[in-house]
């Protein structure tokens, strides 16, 4: 057996291996290299995180801008459609108003004609009209008593 394994003083307390200057030195170099590599990986990871963050911010801004543009386009289209519909409703209302006015004038003229015709008939046949009115009144009286 070697002296390193037989002598407990020559063992490294951290690793449990023998403390040859070349092995110990190699272990230290490996630790230092691993530490440097860890720092590089951490730095690279931080850079990637920053790049991802800036890309996410850029994408969010692009999305916000696109959404704003689409909302403005939708608002413009809705305003245009509302204007067209309002104009169509105004035209329809004007048309209906003119038709209603025309119908009102025609109905009023007919009522005047009927009134004039009724007056002329009553003047020409006063006895018939009075007897007819009495008959109708008597008939209504009979109906209302029951």
Q: What is the pTM of this model?
A: 0.43
Condensed to tens digits (0 to 9), the pLDDT of residues 15-71 reads 555 555 688 888 888 888 888 888 888 888 988 999 999 999 999 999 999 999 999
Radius of gyration (C-alpha) of the chain in whole angstroms:
55
18: β partners: 11
CA distance 69 to 77: 12
Share of the chain above pLDDT 70, in %: 86
- Give residue limits of the domains in the chain: 3-145
How would DSSP label each residue in 48-112?
HHHHHHHHHHHHHHHHHHHHHHHHHHHHHHHHHHHHHHHHHHHHHHHHHHHHHHHHHHHHHHHHH
Condensed to tens digits (0 to 9), the pLDDT of residues 2-17 reads 444 444 445 555 655 5
């Amino acid at each position: 057996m070697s002296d390193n394994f037989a002598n407990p003083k020559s063992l490294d307390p951290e690793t449990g291996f023998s403390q040859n200057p070349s092995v110990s030195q190699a272990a230290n170099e490996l630790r230092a290299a691993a530490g440097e590599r860890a720092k590089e990986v951490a730095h690279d990871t931080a850079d990637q995180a920053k790049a991802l963050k800036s890309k996410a911010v850029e994408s969010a801004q692009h999305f916000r801008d696109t959404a704003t543009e689409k909302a403005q386009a939708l608002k413009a289209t809705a305003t245009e459609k509302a204007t067209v519909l309002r104009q169509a409703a105004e035209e329809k209302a004007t048309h209906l108003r003119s038709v209603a006015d025309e119908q009102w004038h025609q109905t009023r003229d007919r009522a005047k004609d009927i009134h004039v015709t009724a007056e002329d008939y009553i003047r020409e046949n006063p006895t018939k009209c009075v007897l007819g009115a009495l008959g109708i009144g008597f008939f209504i009286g009979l109906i209302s008593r029951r």
